Each structure stands twice: as C-alpha cells, then as structure tokens.
C-alpha cells in the first residue's frame, strides 16, 4: 500500500505551500473503511447526479462543515488515449488549459489566485482533472472560469511554444530520479503495445514535435461536455447551484459525437493482444520467465521494481487483490516489510494496484539496504509471494487488511476536496460514483481463499516484469565553487509586473461577501508534569487527528553526531518495556491507525490519525513510547542502514544536496542550522547516544500535543492524565542560545555537480526572519507578490510563464522559532539556468528599486485571506496549525485572528520589509545537478 502519486503528472504545485490535494486513494477504486464498519452511504449519501442536455455529468454533494466549496472537472482522457508519436499530449494540453481563453486571454492561475482558490490539475492514465477549493461566495466564479476553458481555451503558437519548454523542464526533472527511469523501462517492457506502457507525462522527443493543430484537435476531441464530469462539494444549496451550472456549462455544445470519443478511447485496448487474458493466467503453465531489466547508471541506492498484469477496475477480483496488497505491503506488520526490511535486505518496500479502465498492473518496489544484492531481494520477494499462493492467510491478517483499507478511505476523505476527488475518480474511471458502495461491500466479504486465489492468478512468475537499478559509482567529478559579481544579470530587464486591476476585468464576480464564521478556538491546559495539550472537538466525522512536537530537534545534534535526533525519533516505535516493534505495529495497524515520529530543525514531530473509537489506543501507545522506549540494538542497526540509504539518496538528488549546500553557505559551522548528517556521523552514533538524547530531551515539559476530532474533551482529559500521569522530568530542559546570522557580504555563487542528472535545481537567498518577527505578516504579503505561487507571482509570471525557463519557481520565508532562510527555488534545464538566475536577480532588483503597486498589495492580501478558510476546512490541517501556533509561542486565537493580521498590514510595512530583506547584492546562489550551468569567470 502506498500513496500512488506516480499516477498523477501535472501542476502539482506543492513545494512551499504544502498543498497536498489527494489522499492516495486515487488509483485504487477506493482505499477503504474501519474497525467499526463504516457505511458506504457516508461517502455517497446526499450526492445528486444530473446529466445536462449536452451530456455533461454533474455530481453535487452538500457538506456544511465549513464555508468552502470544491469545484472539479474530470475529463475522461489521459495517456491511455494517446497513440504512437503523441505520448504526452494529454499532459501538454493540461498545461495549456491555464494559458487563457478567447474572452480571458490571461494566465488562469492569476485568476484562481485572485479568488483565493487552492487550485491544481493533474494528468493520469485514464483522466485529466482540474480542481479548485474556495470560500463559498466564489463558487459561481469558479464555475464560470471552468466552463470558459472547457470550450474557449487558447491553443496557439505562442502558448504552445512557451509551455512546451515548461513541460520539457518538468520531464527532465523526473529524469533526475533513478526510480522514474527504472519505472519507465519496466513499464515499457511490461506493456510494449499499450499506451499504459508509456510515461504519463510524455517524452521530450514527442513533446518537441507537437504542432498547434495536433494539440488543438486533441482538445476538440476530448474536452467536450459529454466526456466530462463536473463535481461540486461543500457549503452550498443544490438547486440554485444547478441553475448556475445550466447557465454556464449548459450553453456549451457537444463538439464531437460520443461514438468518436469512445472509438478513440478503445484504440489502445484493441491493440492489446489476446494472449494477455489475465484471468486465465496460471502458474501451473510452464512459461519461461523474462530476464530482469538492468539499468546501470549514476545514482544512489539500488532499486527493484516488479510488475504483474491485473484486470480492469470492474473485475470481480479487484477487492481480493486490494486485500492481498494490504497483506503484502500494508504497514510494518505486512509480509514484505517483515521479509525484506526487518531482515535488513531492504531499506523500504511498497506496493500498489493500478486498477483502471483497461487491464492494469500490480507493482512492488524495494530499495536495497547498503551492501545488499538485488538478486537476493528478488529471491526473498518471490519466496514470500509463493508462500501467499501456497498457504491460506490467517484470520488476523485478513481482518487487519480489511480494517486498514476501510480506515484509510475514511481518513483520506476528511476534507471536501478529497471527497470530490473520490466521486470524480469513481465516476470517470469506474463509470459510477456509487462504485465505492459495491467495493466496500465486496471488501467486507473477501475470504482467505479468495486472497490466495488472487495471489495464484495474478502474482504469476511467468507474467512478471522485473527491473533492477544498479547505481554506478560517481565519477568523482569535482563540484566547482566561485564567488561572482553578478555581471551576468546586468543587461536583463524584466517585464512590467502584471497589473491586478487589469486582471480584474477578466474576473467573474463573487456572489456576495461571505461570513467565514467564527473559527472555534482550541481549549488549552497543562498536565501536572508540564505536558501542554490543545483540544478542539469536531464531531462532523468519526476521526481523530493528532499533531505533536517535542523540543528534541536536529538543532541539538552538533556536527559530530549529526543525525542523532532523527535516529532517536525513528527508533521510538522499535520497542518499549512491554511491547516489541511488531506488537506496537499490530496494536495500531489492527485498527487502521497511524502513529509516526520524525525530527526537524526545531523539534521532533508526532503525527497520528485514526477513527475516533481508537483514540484510547492511540494515546496509550503514544504515552508508552514517549515514556518507555528501549531502543533495541538490532533495530538501531537496521534504522542506521536505512538512514545511510536515505543520505545517499539525498546527496544524489539536486534538491536535497542543493538545500544542504545552500544552508551551510548561510549558517556558520558552529550554528545548529549548519549541521547535516554525514556517513561518518551516522556510523559513529551509539545506542548510548540515543538513550542519552532520549533521556535528556524527551520530557513532558518539552512536549506539546494538539488533538482535533470526534471526542468528548472531558473524557480526553481523563485519558491523558491516566496515560501520561507517571511521566516526570527532573531539572530544567536544555536550552540552546542561537547566534544572529548577518547577511552575506557579497554575492556568492556555488555549483555542485551530480553525475547523470538532466535538470538543475537552484536555491537563491540568505538568512531571514523568525515567526515572531514584527516583519512576519508584511513578509507574507510581500512573498505572495514575489513568488508565493508559481503561476500568479512576479517570479512565476516572468521566469515560468513568459520565458518558459522553469517548471516551477517559488519563494518563501522559512520562519520558525528562530530565523530560517528566505529562499527562492527553481528547476531548470542546464542551458537555461543562467538566464533564469539572471531574470530572478533582476526581478529582485526591480522590487528593491520600484517596490510594489497598491493593486498588487491589495490583491496579495485578498488572496491570502480568501484561501485561509480552505486550510481550516481540513481537520488534519487544523491540528497542525493549532500545534504550530502553540509551539511558536502565539496566542490560541491566532487561528481565528490570522486573516485580520494580514488585512492590517500596511504598504509602509511592506516597503520596510523590502528595504530590510531584499538584498540582491548579497545573495547566496547554489546550483546542483549537471555540471554545465555556470559560465567560467570572465565569460
């Protein structure tokens, strides 16, 4: 089981804003319900389906838990519909759908941003989807914009030329990943005559050849009402909204006959040879196994991927296949985790079933632990699969798998965006939004015999396609480093900022000012031992969301023991005085609950989720590991090997290495933010180091917990007192004194070469501000204008949209308890890096010299405050916001007052922030990736 984001290619802009639009139950018909069976009606109850005269399917679901609405348009077209020579055309068209329409010839990202929409889009195998979630008064405006681009999108030479460069930048970015390259070769070999065997995003060779006529014809063929589903969920009244839908979408005409779309959609299926009749596949039939595909290329960790053909989403075996997947890869107690990771052979293992319109596949991925052979991993994998085929599963495994599937569906649909996505996916791919009801009913009836039969039928060695990625040693090519004067930027003159007033004439009006309602404030109290708790009861869904932080972050590591905080956090679940690692895992996984720990700069994080009935188990397990962790030596060695693998992967990733080099260039060696793990530091950490760190930093008076969900606060207080009452600390907690870091004295340019990469990543910036800095709110407004959104900001408009130099460019202030960096990040083709850097620095100079306009200033404030209610509509996000505010020393009322604080920002404050923090002459510029991105001095 895994979040199958490999299915989704497109505008997933989540770098700095952390907008994660989907819960992962995307490729699966549904990734289902809970320990106490949850009725499928909770997902489809209240859904109304209408089909307009032009064929558009409309699904509406009123959800009155927050003053927000989600609008999604799902087109039944994806890479499955592509023919030879046009791989990636669905994805290319998705990009062009943001370039404007005949009536609104402006970047649609700017329009969505002005509405405060949290918007995105993606292309997958069977579908292309566009979605936005906004305050309820912007619903009509979103419908107007989506209807406009369904029929009137600009697909012209200018738009295609610039967006081709952006798409190629995106594709080249994927090429940096060994896992992507391995997947491409394995899928091509597994499905040589089918479109599913091609990369969803396309290939550079095909994208470069797309013509305007080709893309326009594709748009005319597939972007038609009868080939689309409009989904609306949230706080609205159905009848008036349907009236608006008929006025906006109802006037659109069918551009093609339905038969033509169906014929196009069947192209690939018709090519699918009869020999691939999956249900007849039998392991008893002796067929020669294919030899593994072996890629030997520069990279970090060794990877394995295995693919097995599956039937389509409507096949009756699908529920048993998904239960089989949960038994194999569903958490720490799963069979493959125990066989491969707990044995020390692999650092990670995951799996997932792609059940689609046409016959799909089951996929298993593993990352080798240091020094382990992929052949041995493949052998143990096959032995595990054979055991599943030969011996019935236990009742315990069956119940755990069903519960995990059910609970993940409930937890993944806590917000209206996810609920809309579930409806859109089921209607588009399964052909019926109520598919989930049948699916859940079938999951409940799956038997051990059906799981065993699914394993025999589909995990057939003769049908397997397996690939190995064997990293070659880096060639030792040295990174180069130089201090630059910034001469390359002097002749670049950016275009004028887009005037929001000019934009306003294309913006549909909001219906009326919305009252976002009074956000409920959390209740706060402190246990006798100093543990701080924040509670916010939300009885709308039977779920619990837990966020927590312990003042035990990597800032306490030091350079010699860098990685200690993370190893400590990662070993908490490896055993307590009364439970070993497997018992702890089963305690939660039997109930479909999660509890995870990690370490960041300023704290060790706790995240937990579960159904409300399981809150006691979640709290008791949390208390047990925080008070009684034992750090078994054998588990420490396994987690150390995983950490060493992760470090290899990070140093082979231009983003990971670039961020480290950037941070270490800003902060001096004795500063806590300079410290990053090394192979030497990870190897030097002992069990005594972990115990010492745990005993020193894991204290109740260092711990804050936020709980949001379906509970009675009085009962929760009693539960917390009982669970944590014996946890005590002596003395005072450790405190770090962190020195102030000045701006760099000159512009500094660093370049680090990573062999075998296709795309460069650049970080630009210097030390910034803390969360409590008086500049903070003005800095947020300024950043929204500069680079807060890659489609609507100055950086996005100039570097991405106008010049097409990058797939994504963002800026942000990493403002924590202590000042973190102000940074700009972008991804570019090696030949475009210098121009993109020059453009960026010129934009910073323009900002410094000319400031911002009144219209930009007002638009930025509106965008931030309009989108904030969307964050508050997701209980999981609310628990994180409440926790962060508490840890950062802010008032409980900050969650309610934040929009007013943004509105109170003045132009003078933004100008002062520019004067104090926009320093184009003092930048640190770090580029990592291919080696040909920096001109020689004097060039």
Give the Å distances, CA to CA, from 491 to 421, 487, 488, 842, 896.
47, 8, 7, 9, 46
SS (H, E, C) 631-680: CCHHHHHHHHHHHHHHHHHHHCCHHHHHHHHHHHHHCCCCCHHHCCCCHH
Tokens in use for 97? Answer: 């759908």
In whole angstroms, what separates CA 822 from the centre of its chain? Answer: 22
Closest listed residue to residue 612, CA positions, set 65, 38, 46: 38
What confidence tens digit (pLDDT) does each residue in 584-609 have?
999 999 999 999 999 999 999 999 99
As beta bridge partners, residue 806 has 828
Torsion over CA: 735, 737, 743, 744 (sign):
negative
Residue 280: the pLDDT is 36
What confidence tens digit (pLDDT) does each residue in 429-456 have?
999 999 998 999 999 999 999 999 999 9
What confidence tens digit (pLDDT) does each residue in 602-633 have?
999 999 999 999 999 999 999 999 999 999 99
| Ranges of H-type helices in 355-446 | 374-390, 395-411, 416-425, 435-445
pLDDT at 360 over 50: yes
pLDDT at 313 over 70: yes
Mean pLDDT of the region 337-362: 97
pLDDT at 271 over 60: no
Tokens in use for 802? Answer: 């106008």
pLDDT at 724 over 90: yes
SS (H, E, C) 444-503: HHCCHHHHHHHHHHHCCHHHCEEEEEEEECCCCCCCEEECCCCHHHCCCCCCCCCCHHHH
pTM exceeds 0.85: yes
Residue 182: the pLDDT is 97
pLDDT at 939 over 80: no
């Amino acid at each position: 089981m895994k979040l199958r984001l490999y299915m989704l290619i497109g505008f997933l802009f989540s770098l700095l804003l952390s907008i994660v639009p989907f819960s992962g139950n995307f490729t699966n018909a549904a990734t289902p319900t809970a320990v106490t069976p949850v009725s499928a009606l909770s997902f489809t109850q209240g859904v109304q389906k209408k089909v307009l005269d032009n064929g558009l399917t409309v699904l509406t679901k009123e959800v009155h838990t927050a003053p927000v609405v989600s609008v999604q348009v799902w087109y039944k077209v994806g890479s499955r519909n592509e023919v030879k020579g046009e791989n990636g055309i669905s994805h290319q068209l998705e990009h062009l759908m943001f370039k404007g329409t005949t009536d609104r010839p402006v970047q649609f990202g700017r329009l969505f941003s002005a509405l405060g929409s949290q918007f995105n889009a993606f292309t997958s195998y069977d579908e292309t989807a566009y979605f936005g979630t906004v305050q309820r008064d912007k619903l009509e405006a979103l419908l107007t914009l989506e209807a406009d681009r369904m029929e009137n999108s600009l697909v012209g030479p200018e738009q295609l030329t610039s967006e081709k460069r952006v798409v190629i930048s995106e594709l080249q970015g994927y090429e940096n990943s060994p896992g992507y390259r391995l997947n491409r070769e394995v899928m091509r070999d597994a499905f040589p005559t089918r479109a599913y065997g091609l990369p969803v995003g396309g290939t550079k060779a095909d994208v470069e050849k797309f013509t305007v006529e080709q893309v326009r014809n594709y748009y005319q063929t597939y972007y038609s009402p009868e080939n689309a589903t409009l989904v609306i969920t949230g706080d609205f009244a159905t009848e008036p909204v349907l009236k608006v839908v008929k006025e906006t979408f109802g006037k659109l005409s069918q551009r093609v006959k339905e038969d033509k779309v169906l014929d196009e959609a069947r192209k690939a299926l018709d090519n699918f040879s009869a020999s691939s009749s999956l249900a007849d596949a039998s392991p008893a039939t002796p067929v020669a196994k294919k030899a593994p595909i072996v890629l030997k290329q520069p990279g970090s960790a060794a990877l394995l991927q295995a693919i097995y053909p599956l039937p389509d989403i409507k096949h009756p075996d699908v529920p048993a296949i998904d239960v089989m997947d949960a038994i194999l890869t569903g958490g720490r107690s799963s069979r493959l985790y125990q066989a491969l990771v707990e044995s020390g052979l692999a650092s990670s293992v995951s799996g997932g079933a792609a059940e689609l319109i046409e016959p799909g596949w089951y996929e298993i991925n593993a990352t080798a632990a240091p020094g382990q052979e992929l052949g041995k991993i493949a052998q143990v994998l096959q032995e595990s699969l054979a055991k599943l085929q030969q011996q019935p599963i236990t009742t315990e495994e069956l119940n755990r798998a069903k519960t995990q599937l059910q609970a993940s569906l409930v937890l993944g649909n806590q917000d209206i965006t996810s609920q809309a996505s579930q409806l859109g996916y089921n209607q588009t791919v399964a052909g019926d939004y109520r598919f989930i009801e049948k699916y859940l009913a079938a999951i409940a009836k799956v038997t051990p015999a059906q799981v065993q039969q699914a394993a025999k039928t589909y995990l057939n060695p003769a049908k397997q396609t397996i690939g190995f990625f064997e990293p070659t040693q880096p060639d030792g090519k040295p990174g180069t480093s130089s201090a630059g004067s910034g001469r390359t930027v002097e002749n670049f003159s950016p275009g004028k900022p887009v005037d929001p007033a000019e934009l306003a004439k294309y913006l549909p009006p909001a219906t009326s000012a919305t009252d976002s309602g009074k956000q409920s404030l959390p209740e706060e109290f402190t246990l006798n031992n100093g543990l701080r708790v924040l509670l916010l009861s939300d009885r709308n869904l039977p779920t619990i969301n837990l966020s927590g932080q312990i003042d035990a972050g990597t800032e306490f590591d030091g350079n010699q023991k860098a990685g200690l905080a993370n190893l400590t956090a990662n070993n908490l679940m490896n055993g307590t005085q009364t439970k070993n690692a497997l018992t702890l895992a089963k305690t939660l996984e039997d109930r479909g609950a999660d509890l995870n720990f990690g370490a960041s700069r300023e704290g060790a994080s706790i995240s937990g989720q579960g159904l409300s009935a399981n809150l006691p188990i979640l709290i008791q397990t949390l208390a047990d590991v925080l008070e009684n962790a034992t750090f078994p030596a054998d588990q420490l060695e396994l987690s150390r090997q995983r950490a060493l693998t992760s470090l290899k992967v990070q140093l082979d990733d231009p983003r990971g290495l670039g961020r480290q080099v950037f941070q270490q260039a800003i902060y001096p060696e004795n500063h806590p933010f300079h410290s990053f793990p090394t192979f030497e530091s990870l190897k030097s950490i002992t069990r005594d180091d972990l115990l010492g760190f745990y005993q020193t930093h894991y204290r109740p008076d260092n711990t804050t917990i936020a709980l949001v969900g379906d509970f009675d606060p009085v009962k929760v207080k009693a539960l917390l007192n009982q669970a944590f009452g014996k946890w005590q600390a002596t003395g005072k907690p450790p405190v770090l004194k962190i020195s102030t870091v000045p701006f760099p004295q000159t512009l500094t340019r660093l370049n680090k070469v990573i062999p075998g990469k296709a795309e460069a990543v650049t970080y630009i910036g210097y030390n910034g501000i803390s969360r409590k800095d008086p500049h903070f709110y003005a800095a947020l407004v300024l950043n929204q204008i500069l680079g807060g959104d890659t489609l609507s900001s100055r950086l996005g408009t100039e570097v991405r949209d106008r010049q097409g130099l990058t797939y994504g460019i963002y800026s942000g202030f990493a403002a924590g308890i202590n000042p973190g960096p102000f940074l700009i990040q972008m991804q570019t083709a090696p030949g475009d890096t210098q121009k993109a850097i020059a453009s960026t620095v010129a934009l910073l100079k323009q900002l410094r010299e000319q400031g911002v306009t009144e219209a930009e200033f007002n638009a930025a404030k509106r965008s931030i405050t309009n989108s904030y209610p969307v964050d508050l509509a997701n209980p999981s996000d609310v628990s994180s916001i409440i926790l962060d505010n508490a840890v950062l020393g802010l008032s409980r009322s900050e969650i309610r007052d934040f929009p007013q604080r943004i509105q109170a920002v003045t132009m003078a404050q933004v100008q002062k922030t520019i004067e104090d923090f926009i320093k184009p002459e003092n930048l640190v510029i770090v580029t990592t990736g291919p080696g040909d991105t920096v001109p020689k001095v004097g060039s």
